[in-house]
């Protein structure tokens, strides 16, 4: 039991180095085959790939026809088919501006990023919800993967700025501001997110003046945003604490105000350090968006769950779960790999 | 600028001003929300206050540990929910820790395939939402289990089917009470023995047979006591009658699904903590300890584990609190925990949103604060003493 567990480099050594290793490898390989072969047969070999209805699925394997028939719903929920170019366009715009910010020369990055932050969120909501020349589509009709992405992005638009402010507040020398930040962070971190989503959907309409309704989806975004903000604050705090105290003192000595020192000296360094932690919190957020199911908002997992009730497609539980689970896994795995590569880049 | 206004450039004055402004702003917002809420509640005809707790609940709960029945008041419903939350949390903690340690140590195995399988498990589990696991176990696995007639039998005493897990129940608990008293006494004896052995070692340098005595007191005595209690008690073993099992205790499928989901998911995170903890012990420590002549077992017990535990304790505490909070995912499959019973059913019946939400959140906050306080104390105790 040691820290340096170096494995032999050659595959023959790795798998069959000593008699004990050989026996364990063979036993485990047999076990793996025993588990994996039926799964592969079900998912690939015996599966039905082409057809239109439930009746086309005669084999003993998976019925991927079901996923094909419902693919649009898994992606967009009940969003009207003719208008699906709108979420697509919004997605492309977000992706393009993200790429532009990453590829832009260093001195343009900040201004581009701020411009995107001001323009994109309202534009995205306009494209999705409609009005002002576009057909209005109620949030009730949104769903599927599109909604998962929407919830993740818009909740983090609340969570990241609020989280940074809270982290700064927690480090502040001003006692009252520190206390408020600590109370806020510890409260939201201490309660289950599922309860927060219930809370947001029940309390937000109650505390608004009568007559002002809060959209169901907006309640979920606000609830998730507040809760994740507390976790984000802890991620940012790690970066703030890693900075030597001299950084802020040097800023003050140069005559910079608190906010100027924070903006030009502290945050650029602290956020770079805490970017992997922030990404990890974002992954947690993507996973937690599934909880909107409890207030009957149908994100990707919700649509998969709802599709089980279709009388035309009885018994498709496994297909629906495998498809939605694989999508979640791909998204989160890609994000976590990105976060890991950031960490190793910084480590060098 | 005139001298009279110079004080506005004083940093202390400004600090007080900013903080006062923030406080007043927050207070004003709070007052505004409370006024709106009370107006809205008057309009909707909802009374405020905690009187509703003494009303009859009328809510049927399929799985209770307390003596709650439908005719009890809403406060008893609350406690029934809390008990269910704590039950699933406690069992999930133990099982997830065991599975997590196993996988974490497997990730450090010197056998490549063992390492690879453990690594694949961790990568698989950590990148999928917990709610997915809950729904998958409930609608995908448990629902696909055979009907009671074709139950999967566990040694002929427990039966797993799509209506849950039927387990035998002791007719009387007296024997188990004696067994637990015996175990408690043996733990106390072990503690006293350790203190005595430590003092003797410090005074005379002589080793006491700590391991052997520990095995007897902490393993043999409990196993014997429990075995005796199990054999001496008459058990109510479930029997198939008609379409379902009679006798025994039925663990509802929601519990089984939630427990399975919590354990499989959390184990992936605990495995990473265990791996990180063990890897954090510098190799030089182990080399130094063998240079001092300690045997591998002693090195593990006296050098590696104490240092790894110190690194592992804070993230483990976090994980344990996560399990408590995540037990509320049961609300998605109607496991009667405090969120789904109290924030769901009771709130629907009474409409008293604010009181019920406050009470539910208080459960988690109180437990969380208590655990954090205890862990801070524990951390301070085991912290490295540096000069």
Total structural domains within chain A: 3
pLDDT top residue among B248 and A129: A129
pLDDT at B114 over 80: yes
Whether residue A36 is found in the same domain as residue A120 = no
* B281 three-class SS: coil
Phi, psi of A296 (to 5 degrees): 50, 45
* B111 three-class SS: coil
Q: What is the pLDDT of residues B206-224, one digit of tens each?
A: 877 777 888 888 888 888 8
Nearest to B69 by CA among B51, B53, B56: B56
Domain annotation covers residue A6: no
Which residues constitute the domain of residue A242? 65-78+143-347
- How many contacts (CB atoms, under 8 Å) link A and B? 165
Q: Does B33 touch chain A (CB under 8 A)?
A: yes
Domain annotation covers residue A293: yes
Per cent of chain A over pLDDT 90 is 45
d(Cα A344, Cα A265) in Å, to the nearest integer?
Answer: 23
Partners of B165 in beta bridges? B160, B251
For residue B4, CA distances in Å to B9, B10, B79, B222, B271 come to 11, 12, 62, 80, 65
Contacts of B244 (CB under 8 A, 6+ apart): B148, B163
pLDDT at A347 over 70: no
Residue A4: its pLDDT value, please?
43
Nearest to B239 by CA among B331, B155, B321, B156: B156
Confidence of residue B96 (pLDDT cuts 50, 70, 90): very high
| Contact assignment for A290 to B131 by CB distance below 8 Å | yes
pLDDT at A3 over 50: no
Q: What is the pLDDT of residues B162-200, one digit of tens each?
A: 887 888 877 777 788 888 898 899 899 989 988 898 888
| Contact assignment for A5 to B37 by CB distance below 8 Å | no
The minimal CB distance from B33 to the residues A3, A202, A207 is found for A207
| Contact assignment for A15 to B112 by CB distance below 8 Å | yes
- Do A221 and A151 touch, CB atoms closer than 8 A? yes
- Do A173 and A242 touch, CB atoms closer than 8 A? no
Q: Which residues of chain A lie closer than 8 angstroms to B369, CB-CB?
A: 190
Q: Which A positions 154-183 lie with beta carbon below 8 A of chain B?
A: 173-177, 180
Report the DSSP pairing between strands B249-251 and B164-167: antiparallel
Which pTM value belongs to this model?
Answer: 0.86
Whether residue A211 is found in the same domain as residue A314 = yes
- Do B301 and B266 touch, CB atoms closer than 8 A? no
Domain annotation covers residue A54: no
Domain annotation covers residue A192: yes
> What's the CATH code of the domain at A284?
1.10.3720.10
Per cent of chain B over pLDDT 90 is 33
**Cα distance from B108 to chain A (closest Cα, Å)?**
7
Whether residue A324 is found in the same domain as residue A225 = yes
Q: What is the pLDDT of residues B56-69, one digit of tens each?
A: 888 888 888 888 88
Phi, psi of A173 (to 5 degrees): -85, -15
Whether residue A69 is found in the same domain as residue A179 = yes
Confidence of residue A203 (pLDDT cuts 50, 70, 90): confident
**Cα distance from A121 to chain B (closest Cα, Å)?**
26
Domain annotation covers residue A2: no
Burial (CB < 10 A; 0-12, 13-18, 19+), residue A326, is: exposed
> Which residue spans within B171-325 are E strands per DSSP?
235-236, 239-241, 244-246, 249-251
Whether residue A234 is found in the same domain as residue A275 = yes
Which sign, positive or negative, has the C-alpha torsion A193, A199, A201, A205? negative
Q: Does B361 touch chain A (CB under 8 A)?
A: yes
Residue B129: its pLDDT value, please?
94
| Contact assignment for B19 to A174 by CB distance below 8 Å | yes
| Contact assignment for A207 to B369 by CB distance below 8 Å | no
- Do B85 and B363 touch, CB atoms closer than 8 A? yes
pLDDT at B383 over 80: no
Whether residue A74 is found in the same domain as residue A84 = no
Residue A348: its pLDDT value, please?
55
Q: How many CA atoms lie within 13 A of B326 on its CB side?
A: 27
- Do B206 and B200 touch, CB atoms closer than 8 A? yes
Residue with tokens 């604050």: A233
Neighbours of B132 (CB within 10 A): 23
Q: What is the pLDDT of residues B268-279, one digit of tens each?
A: 999 999 999 988
pLDDT top residue among B296 and A186: A186
Domain annotation covers residue A322: yes
Q: Please state the rounded mean pLDDT for residues A182-190.
A: 93
Residue B123: its pLDDT value, please?
93
Helices A106-129 & A144-171, crossing angle to 10 degrees?
A: 130
The minimal CB distance from B40 to the residues A194, A198, A210 is found for A210
Whether residue A256 is found in the same domain as residue A310 = yes
Domain annotation covers residue A240: yes
d(Cα A83, Cα A128) in Å, to the nearest integer?
Answer: 9
Cα B268–chain centre separation: 15
Partners of A142 in beta bridges? A77
Domain annotation covers residue A263: yes
The minimal CB distance from A291 to the residues B115, B128, B131 is found for B131
**Cα distance from B5 to chain A (closest Cα, Å)?**
20
Tell me the average pLDDT of chain B.
86
Q: What is the DSSP letter of A7?
A: P
Q: Does B135 touch chain A (CB under 8 A)?
A: yes
The minimal CB distance from B365 to the residues A20, A191, A325 is found for A191
The minimal CB distance from A3 to the residues B129, B143, B282 is found for B282
Contacts of B91 (CB under 8 A, 6+ apart): B259
Q: Please state the rounded mean pLDDT for residues B136-161.
A: 81
Q: Does B34 touch chain A (CB under 8 A)?
A: yes
Q: Please state the rounded mean pLDDT for residues B22-26.
A: 93
Ordered alpha helix ranges (H), chain A: 11-16, 19-40, 65-69, 71-76, 85-103, 106-129, 144-171, 175-190, 193-207, 216-242, 246-253, 258-261, 267-288, 300-307, 317-347
d(Cα B341, Cα B61) in Å, to the nearest integer?
Answer: 8
Residue with tokens 């910084």: A346
Per cent of chain A over pLDDT 70 is 97
Residue B385: its pLDDT value, please?
66
Whether residue A193 is found in the same domain as residue A245 = yes
- What fold does the segment set B74-171+249-382 form as a domain? MetI-like fold (1.10.3720)
Neighbours of A290 (CB within 10 A): 26
Nearest to A293 by CA among A278, A282, A285, A304: A304
Residue B387: its pLDDT value, please?
54
d(Cα A123, Cα A114) in Å, to the nearest integer?
Answer: 14
**Cα distance from B180 to chain A (closest Cα, Å)?**
33
Confidence of residue A1 (pLDDT cuts 50, 70, 90): very low
Instruction: For A250-286, give one letter per residue: b (16+ CB within 10 A) or e.
Output: ebeeeebebeebbeebbbeebbebbbbbbbbbbbbbb
Complex prediction ipTM: 0.89
Give the chain B residue nearest A291 (alpha carbons).
B131
Q: Does A284 touch chain B (CB under 8 A)?
A: no
Q: Does A317 touch chain B (CB under 8 A)?
A: yes
| Contact assignment for A209 to B36 by CB distance below 8 Å | yes
Residue A337: its pLDDT value, please?
92
Nearest to A228 by CA among A191, A253, A261, A255: A191
Q: What is the DSSP letter of B146?
A: P
Which helix (H) or strand (E) segment is B153 a member of?
strand B152-154
> What ranges do the domains of chain B cover?
3-45, 74-171+249-382, 172-233
Phi, psi of B238 (to 5 degrees): -65, 140
What is chain A's Cα-based Rg? 25
The minimal CB distance from B39 to the residues A29, A210, A325 is found for A210
- Do A223 and A197 touch, CB atoms closer than 8 A? yes
Residue by residue, DSSP assigns B343-356 as IIIIHHHH--HHHH
Of A117, A136, A155, which residue sits at a domain end?
Answer: A136
| Contact assignment for B26 to A332 by CB distance below 8 Å | no
| Contact assignment for A288 to B129 by CB distance below 8 Å | yes
Residue B23: its pLDDT value, please?
93
Residue A76: its pLDDT value, please?
92
Q: Which residues of chain A lie closer than 8 angstroms to B132, CB-CB?
A: 290, 301, 321, 324-325, 328
d(Cα A87, Cα A127) in Å, to the nearest integer?
Answer: 7
Whether residue A38 is found in the same domain as residue A186 = no
Tell me the average pLDDT of chain A.
88
Q: What is the DSSP letter of B237?
A: -
Instruction: For B17-37, give one letter per residue: b (16+ CB within 10 A) or e.
Output: eebeeeeeeeeeeeeebeebb
Partners of B56 in beta bridges? B73
Whether residue A343 is found in the same domain as residue A198 = yes
């Amino acid at each position: 039991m040691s820290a340096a567990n170096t494995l032999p480099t050659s595959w023959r050594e790795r798998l069959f180095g000593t008699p004990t290793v050989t026996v364990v490898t063979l036993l485990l390989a047999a076990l793996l085959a025993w588990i994996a072969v039926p799964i592969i047969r079900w998912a690939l070999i015996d599966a039905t790939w082409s057809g239109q209805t439930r009746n086309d699925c005669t084999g003993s394997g998976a019925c991927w026809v079901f996923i094909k028939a419902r693919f649009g719903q898994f992606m967009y929920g009940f969003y009207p088919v003719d208008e699906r170019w709108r979420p697509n366009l919004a997605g492309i715009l977000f992706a393009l501006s993200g790429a532009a910010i990453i590829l832009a020369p260093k001195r343009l990055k900040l201004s581009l990023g701020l411009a995107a932050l001001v323009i994109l969120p309202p534009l995205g909501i306009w494209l999705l919800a409609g009005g002002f020349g576009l057909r209005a589509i109620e949030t009730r009709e949104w769903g599927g993967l599109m909604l998962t992405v929407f919830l993740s992005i818009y909740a983090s638009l609340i969570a990241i700025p609020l989280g940074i402010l809270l982290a700064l507040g927690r480090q502040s020398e001003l006692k009252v501001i520190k206390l408020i930040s600590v109370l806020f962070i510890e409260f939201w971190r201490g309660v289950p997110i599922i309860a927060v989503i219930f809370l947001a959907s029940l309390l937000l309409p109650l505390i608004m003046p009568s007559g002002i309704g809060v959209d169901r989806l907006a309640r979920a975004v606000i609830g998730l945003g507040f809760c994740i903000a507390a976790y984000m604050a802890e991620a940012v705090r790690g970066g703030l604490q890693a900075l030597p105290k001299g950084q802020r003192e040097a800023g003050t000595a140069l005559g910079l105000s608190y906010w100027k020192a924070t903006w030009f000296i502290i945050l650029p360094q602290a956020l770079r350090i805490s970017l992997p932690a922030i990404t990890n919190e974002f992954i947690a957020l993507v996973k937690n968006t599934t909880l909107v199911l409890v207030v009957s908002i149908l994100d990707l997992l919700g649509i998969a769950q709802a599709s089980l009730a279709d009388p035309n497609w009885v018994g498709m539980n496994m297909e629906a779960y495998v498809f939605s689970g694989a999508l979640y896994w791909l998204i989160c795995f890609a994000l976590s790999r990105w976060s890991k590569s950031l960490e190793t880049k910084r480590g060098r | 600028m005139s001298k009279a206004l110079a004080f506005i450039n004083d940093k202390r004055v400004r600090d007080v001003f900013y903080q006062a402004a923030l406080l007043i702003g927050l207070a004003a917002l709070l007052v505004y929300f409370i006024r709106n809420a009370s107006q809205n509640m008057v309009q909707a005809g909802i009374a405020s206050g905690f009187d509703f707790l003494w009303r009859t609940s009328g809510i049927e709960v399929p799985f209770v540990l307390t003596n709650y029945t439908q005719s009890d008041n809403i406060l008893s419903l609350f406690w029934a929910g809390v008990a269910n939350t704590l039950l699933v949390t406690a069992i999930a903690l133990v099982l997830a820790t065991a599975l997590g340690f196993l996988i974490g140590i497997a990730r450090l195995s010197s056998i490549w395939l063992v390492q690879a399988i453990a690594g694949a498990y961790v990568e698989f589990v950590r990148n999928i939402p917990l709610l997915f696991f809950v729904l998958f176990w409930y609608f995908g696995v448990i629902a696909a289990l055979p009907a009671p007639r074709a139950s999967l039998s566990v040694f002929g005493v427990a039966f797993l089917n799509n209506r849950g897990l039927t387990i035998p129940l002791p007719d009387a608990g007296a024997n188990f009470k004696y067994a637990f008293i015996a175990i408690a006494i043996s733990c106390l004896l072990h503690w006293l023995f350790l203190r005595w052995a430590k003092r003797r070692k410090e005074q005379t340098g002589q080793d006491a047979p700590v391991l052997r005595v520990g095995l007897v007191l902490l393993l043999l005595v409990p196993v014997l006591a429990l075995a005796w209690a199990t054999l001496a008690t008459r058990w109510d073993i479930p029997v198939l009658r008609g379409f379902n099992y009679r006798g025994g205790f039925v663990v509802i499928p929601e519990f089984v699904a939630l427990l399975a989901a919590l354990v499989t998911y959390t184990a992936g995170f605990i495995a990473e903590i265990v791996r990180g903890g063990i890897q954090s012990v510098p190799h030089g420590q182990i080399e130094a300890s063998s240079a001092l002549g300690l045997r591998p077992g002693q090195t593990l017990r006296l050098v590696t584990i104490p240092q790894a535990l110190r690194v592992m304790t804070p993230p483990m505490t976090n994980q344990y609190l996560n399990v408590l909070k995540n037990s509320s995912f049961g609300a998605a499959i109607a496991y009667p925990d405090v969120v789904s019973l109290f924030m769901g059913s009771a709130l629907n019946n009474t409409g008293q949103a604010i009181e019920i939400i406050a009470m539910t959140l208080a459960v988690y906050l109180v437990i969380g604060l208590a655990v954090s306080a205890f862990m801070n104390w524990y951390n301070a105790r085991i912290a490295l003493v540096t000069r």
